[in-house]
Structure 1
Amino acid sequence: MTNYIDKSQQPLLGNDAVEPTTPQGERWRASMWKFLLFSALGLALFIIPFKWEGKVTILLGVLTDTLQASLGDYVVYAALAIVTLSLVGALAVKLVRPEIHADSMTAKLFDVDWFWLAARFFGALFAWMIYLQVGPEFIINRNTGGVIFEDLIPILIPLFFFAILSLPFLTDFGLMEFLGTLASKVFVKLFRLPGRSAVDAMSSWFGAASIGLLVTMQEYNKSYYSQREAAIIATTFSVTSIAFTYVVAKTIGVDNNFIFFYLTIALTGFIAAIIMPRIPPLSLKPDTYHSGKSMLDEGIPAQYSTYQWAVNRAVTRAHSMPSLGSVFKHSLKNLFDIYFGLIPVIFAIGTIGLGLAEYTPVFDWLSAPLVPLLELLQIPEATKAAPAMIMGFADMYLPALVGKSIESEMTRFIVGAASITQIVYMSEVGALILKSNINLNVLELFMIFILRTLISLVVITSVAHLLY
């Protein structure tokens, strides 16, 4: 590090002719410490796994669990308040049409189109029906709306609280620039993506799918990713965390083989990540940017090594950041936007999806063409496995809940692993993508889900036949 802070000379990476905003002298040292300390905090919160109370988790997971335990039953009232305020505010803006500035907080939170207004209406309606236990069993049953209200929402509310407020430490103080520069050549060649998307992948693998997706949404809104790149990252790298992967393995009864289970998922995800960006619908997405032009330049000047340029860009980024107060204020706005925009959608879409799975043969019909493929792959109990795999589109946990009754351990291994590698599920990831500015619709998400399922089946089944 001494090469970069020697008082006798300008910093090696601080050449104004190359990067006009690169800090010099004392400002270089201060910005370097800013990059190192805040990025270390971001890594500690989102990336670095450790064992806590008998399970592998991350600091963000510990904070989330602690807040969830502290809130207890009050998280239910928080959820009801969120969906109610979300609907009332949107209705007021839509019907009263007050004079509001397009860039104001009120417009950001409540000025929505009719589709999202309908989603907020049904989200609030379902939430109150489930809470009061009034209405059709399709909505209020413990295995439908109850899963959303009692299992998913109590985790997401505290998770989003810490994740959104602390996300800038991961994305805005130079870590994305540093790792992105180092990984740029690999990610461009293998996945047709910018190097900074490596951070998205890590924050998903060690944190949660929603965290990685929040990073992707933020980077797209800042025009660091094109629409094509954001769509690929959102549907390819938003893998669930190691911790939740273990929960799925335990639920479906293959936790005794967890190491091979997770390695199989990693191999499958890697292969799918190479294939998916090269085929429709992802390959057809345009390389257009949210602001109209790209804000990203990952080229490395000839006079710099890759590592030197990575440090230069990281320090320059840290130097350009405003005060922590301004960062916190902006993050707080994003937090309320996620709460009011996403929580009602999860209630609406998630409850309907789980209701269809529990009370209708829709998933049996949809999975019928899958049965011959499963039989061709010599998967035992193919007729039971097929619906479980298709149910993953509604919620990632559904295949594990349904698949645990399958007798064949090999089939349970395949169903459980596929549920993780499918990635797109409407109760959370799908809803978050639809809420974002990334231009993917439900039909495209379903096409991506099916393609990922087919790729996953071939890879996972090949490994399963070697293990069993």
Structure 2
Amino acid sequence: MVQHEDVINESNLKTSYRRSLFLFIFGSISGIFIFFVQINGQFPFEAIYKGLLNLLGDAVPYIILSYPPLMMIGFIYAKKFAKEGSKICNFFEEDNTFHGVVYVFSSILAVMILLQSGISVLYGPKSAGFMVTDILPFTITIIPVGGAVLPLLASFGLLDVIGSVLEPIMRPAFKVPGKSALDTIASVVGAAVVGIFLTASLYKDKHYTTKEALLISTGFSLNSVGYCAFCVGYVGLISKFNIMFLMYLVITYALAAIMVRIPPIKNYPDSYVDGSIQTEEMRSENVKFSIHQIKKGFNNAILKADSSDGIIKEVSSGFINGIGVSMKVVPMMLGIGGVVLAINEFTPLFVILSKPFIPIISLLGVPEATIAAQSIFVGGLDLFLPSALIGAAAVPDATKFFVVMISLMQVLYITETMLPIIFFGIPVKFRDLLILWVMRTIIAMPFVAICMHLIY
């Protein structure tokens, strides 16, 4: 680790103090503006990715369907024919046989969807077709735009300042660095996948240990305020959105504080991506508010800005990297997500698996416990599915409240967050993500039931 003095010496900088200070101020203000300042009720980040989506127009489905075969061909060429050290070889360096199989399978699915022929159970509008029309369009725009904008938050020092200020709160409560608060905010105003992308990037840059990255990506990568409002409004409870969103944030942070202290997250190592171990001294550093630590955070920010490649290069490089990441993630989400949705739609498997939830929900006094259990269980597949099921059911508002709140707090959804967590490079087992989903669901139930009984 680099040692920083209270006062930065100009000779310690690669460029100049004035340039570094400008990059820190301009980059940070730009990032804050794009992510956190609403204009006419919309955040600029949301306007940018939706604008890109509109610009692509009718080409969106064809772009999505082109990614799997491109990845399949690229994977085969990289592993069989490319020279070691070449760009394409490096691009596919971390991919293994499993990735190759998924690329091939998702390519077959893409052809089925394009031709509307083959196994309809797999390519239809309730399975892989749903992924193409409702989920992946946002993936192919949010990730590149997020890749372009996130350097404004991460590469010019803003994280260092925020981390120094919030460390005394975040470290004791959640056992994570103070800068992780920014991951949450990026998720809430952008999208969960943006928070996961930022967390994975910071993990690879040695800002987080494996345990910290896992907790942040599974506990702090929250659903955006816009999508939360959409789900709440879909079931007819938009008049209660403000209080529901507040409850959602409070309970979700309580869940994060609990989950980090118990397995499976507790069992993950406090080691960085290069294998080095985080010491107790590192964890106990800066846990009290002081002017010295704020100065240190500012100095670290200047050094961070000094080491950057400049705003244009960082933003353009981030956008290109985002495209590369989305090209890898789309086949995984299309293939695996499509199959899981098909299982849910055409088999009784998830109805059967939801049955253990029924007595718990009944005990909590939730009306229509059977329907609530089935709706909550499909939340592990996709965020919107619980709202879609319970919104169409003739059940009391209390049941709708309970189901929607639980679905938001689950945070982990196979189609939208579990697969990106894995394929963005955070080293977690899929089994553990499923365990975390079950644990979050069960632990959240009594909290949400109390809120339900207070309102209804």
Give the TM-score normalised by structure 1: 0.90
Instruction: Call closer, same or farther: CA 1:393–1:303 in 2, change over 3 Å.
Output: closer
1:77-116 equivalences in 2 (<5 Å): 77-94=62-79, 96-101=80-85, 104-111=86-93, 112-116=95-99
1:168 maps to 2:151:
yes
Q: What is the Cα deviation at residue 159 of structure 1?
A: 1.5
Are 2:31 and 1:42 aligned?
Answer: yes
Indicate yes or no: 2:445 matched with 1:457. Answer: yes
Which residue of the other structure, out of 341, 345, 348, is the alignment partner of 1:361?
348
User: What is the CA–CA distance in structure 2 between the aligned matches of 1:183 and 1:166, rounded to whole Å?
Assistant: 22
**Separation in 2 of the partners of 1:387 and 1:42?**
41
User: Which among 253, 256, 267 is matched to residue 250 of structure 2?
Assistant: 267
What CA distance in whole angstroms lies between the structure 2 residues aligned with 1:295 and 1:364?
43
Give the C-alpha shift of residue 307 in structure 1. 2.6
Distance apart, 1:325 and its partner CA:
5.0
Alpha-carbon offset, residue 239 of structure 1 = 0.5
Unaligned runs of 5+ in 1: 1-11
**Which residues of 2 match residues 414-429 of structure 1 at below 5 A?**
414-429=402-417
Q: 1:247 & 1:132 partners in 2: Cα distance?
A: 32
C-alpha displacement of 1:205? 1.3
Aligned partner of 1:341 in structure 2 is 328
Aligned to 1:6: none
Instruction: Give 1:330 deviation, angstroms.
Output: 3.7
Of 163, 172, 177, 1:180 maps to 163
- Which of 175, 181, 186 in structure 2 is aligned with 1:192? 175
Residue 57 (1) aligns with residue 42 (2) = yes
Q: How far apart are residue 30 of structure 1 and its match?
A: 3.0
Aligned to 2:118: 135
Identity of aligned residues (%): 26
Q: Distance in 1 between matches of 2:70 and 2:120?
A: 26
Q: Relative to structure 1, is the Cα distance of residues 303 and 344 closer, same or farther in structure 2, using a 3 angstrom cutoff?
A: closer
Partners in 2 of 1:41 and 1:294 — Cα distance?
34
Who is 1:5 aligned against? none
The aligned residue for residue 7 of structure 2 is 14
The match for 2:139 among 146, 156, 160 is 156
Partners of 2:160 and 2:129 lie apart in 1 by 42
Counterpart for residue 314 of structure 1: 301
> 1:182-235: per-residue Cα shift (whole Å, max 9, x none)?
000111000000111111111011111000000000011011111001011110
- 1:283 CA displacement: 0.4
Can you list the C-alpha shifts for 1:69-97, whole angstroms capped at 9, x where unaligned?
12111111211222221111112233x34
- C-alpha separation between the residues in 2 aligned to 1:285 and 1:303? 31
CA distance in 2, matches of 1:195, 1:124: 42
Matched ranges for 1:286-325 at <5 A: 286-293=269-276, 299-300=285-286, 304-325=291-312
**Structure 1 residues 51 and 467 mapped into 2: Cα distance closer, same or farther (>3 Å)?**
farther
2:20 counterpart (31, 34, 39): 31
CA deviation profile, 1:339-366 (whole Å, cap 9, x unmatched): 2210100101211121122111111111
Task: Identify the match of residue 314 of structure 2 among 309, 318, 327.
Answer: 327
Give the residue type in structure 1 aligned to 2:246: L
Output the CA distance in 1 between the equivalents of 2:39 and 2:378.
31
Q: 1:244 to 1:395 in 2, by over 3 A?
A: same
**Residues 199 and 237 of structure 1, relative CA distance in 2, 3 Å threshold:** same
Give the CA deviation at 1:316.
2.0
Contact 1:252–1:400 (CA under 8 A) maintained in structure 2: yes
**Alpha-carbon distance in structure 2 between the residues aligned to 1:363 and 1:31:** 54
Q: How many angstroms apart in 2 are the aligned matches of 1:428 and 1:445?
A: 13
Determine if contact 2:147/2:315 at 8 Å carries over to the other structure: no
Structure 2 residue 191 is matched with structure 1 residue 208: yes
Any gaps of 5 or more consecutive residues in structure 2?
none
Counterpart contact for 2:412–2:418, Cα < 8 Å: yes
Structure 1 residue 20 displacement after superposition:
8.4
Supply the AA of the counterpart residue of 2:399: T
| CA distance, structure 1, for counterparts of residue 11 and residue 264 of structure 2 | 39
Tell me how far 1:51 sits from its aligned partner: 5.2
Is 2:159–2:179's contact at 8 Å kept on the other side of the alignment? yes
- CA shift, 1:294, in A, is 6.6
For 1:31 and 1:358, locate their aligned partners in 2 and report how far apart those are by CA, in whole Å: 55
Counterpart of 2:306, as a letter, is H
1:143 positional shift: 2.3
| Separation in 1, partners of 2:434, 2:312 | 41
Following TM superposition, by how much is the alpha carbon of 1:13 offset from its aligned partner in structure 2, in angstroms? Answer: 4.5
1:67 corresponds to: 52
Map of 2:260 onto structure 1? 277
CA RMSD of aligned residues (A): 2.3
Question: Within 2, Cα distance between the matches of 1:36 and 1:198?
Answer: 20
Asked whether the 8 Å contact 1:57–1:243 carries over to 2, the reply is no
Alignment CA distance shift 1:315-1:285 (3 Å): same
Please tell me whether the aligned partners of residues 199 and 217 of structure 2 are also in contact (alpha carbons under 8 angstroms). Answer: yes
How many residues in Structure 1 have an aligned counterpart in Structure 2?
446
Deviations 1:7-44 (A, max 9, x none): xxxxx95245xx98468xx9333322211110111112
- Please tell me the residue identity of whatever aligns with 1:450: V
Q: Which residue of structure 2 aligns with residue 377 of structure 1?
A: 364
Indicate if the aligned counterparts of 1:225 and 1:294 stay in contact, CA closer than 8 A: no
Quick check: 1:433 aligned with 2:418?
no
Equivalent position SS for 2:222: coil
Distance 1:294 1:36 in 2: 33
Q: How does 1:436-447 map to 2 (within 5 A)?
A: 436-447=424-435
Q: Give the direction of change, closer, same or farther, for the CA distance of 1:223–1:20 in structure 2 (3 Å limit).
A: farther
Q: In the alignment, is residue 397 of structure 1 matched against residue 397 of structure 2?
A: no
Distance in 1, matches of 2:399 and 2:415, equals: 24
The structure with the greater share of residues assigned to helix is 2
Q: Aligned AA for 1:127?
A: A
CA distance in 1, matches of 2:387, 2:186: 23
